[in-house]
Amino acid sequence: MAHATYMAAMNAARKEFGKDWKEHAKCEKVDGQWYVQIIKAAPADLQKDIEVTQQLADIQADADQKAAKKAEIEKKKPAFIPAKPAHEAVASESAPTPKPSLPAFLKPAHKAEEEVPEEAKMGDQAANLASVNVDPLRPRLSSCELPTKKVWHIADSMPGAKRKEVIEACVAAGIAYGTARTQYQHWFKTMNDSKATPIAVIGADGKPYIPAK
């Protein structure tokens, strides 16, 4: 295993081999990191314990690295933003701007024939709601809760799927087409950035190295 300093490597060697650790190992610096290099085999029981300890340490280091990478991805994900229902969004966008009220003596008298029946108003609102998502394949508004976060969950659950397939799954789940397309692009870039980080592995000689791409 790699250590940050010579003292850390020396303490690790002393812990594994005891006070006579220099008879069995030496501290060697490679690429800016200190390693414990075995120069003499230890007794069978001690050697087995050393191998088990190294394997457990390697497993723990790999788990820590994966956890750190996952935490980095979670940090880049957008925060939960409650989505406004489609009918509320349309109602707020289509609501007329209120005009300043006039004094009573300046208000024009309403004629009976100019008043709009309540049934007609309700019909106009229903028509406006129906015209928002005309194309079922490319809805403009989301009809589900937390559509932004939901795109990331759907993309995570479809490894190896094409962009078109993920977006279609998002639209089928009630997510607006534009939201699905934008958030998928953010998810795709985040995943590519995390994959570009090299991960060292332990070779047959016991030394870590970074595999060639």
Could you read off the pLDDT of 145-202 as tens digits, one per residue? 899 999 999 999 998 899 999 999 999 999 999 999 999 999 998 888 877 666 656 6
Mean pLDDT of the chain: 75
Strand partners, 3: 34
Tell me the HSE value of 16 on the side-chain side, using a 13 A CA sphere.
29
Give me the pLDDT at residue 15, please: 83
In a domain, 124, yes or no: no
pLDDT at 27 over 70: yes
CA separation for the pair 109, 107 (Å, rounded): 6
Q: Answer yes or no: pTM beyond 0.75.
A: no
Tally the domains of the chain. Answer: 2
Once rounded to an integer, what is the mean pLDDT over residues 105-110? 54
In a domain, 53, yes or no: yes
In a domain, 121, yes or no: no
In a domain, 108, yes or no: no
In a domain, 27, yes or no: yes
Start-to-end Cα distance in the chain: 22
pLDDT at 37 over 90: no
In a domain, 139, yes or no: yes
pLDDT at 18 over 60: yes
In a domain, 116, yes or no: no
In a domain, 102, yes or no: no
Buried b (16+ CB within 10 A) or exposed e, 74-101: eeebeeeeebeebeebbeeeeeeeeeee
Are 11 and 18 in contact by the 8 Å Cβ rule? The answer is: no
Give me the pLDDT at residue 142, please: 86
Domain enclosing residue 13, as ranges: 2-72
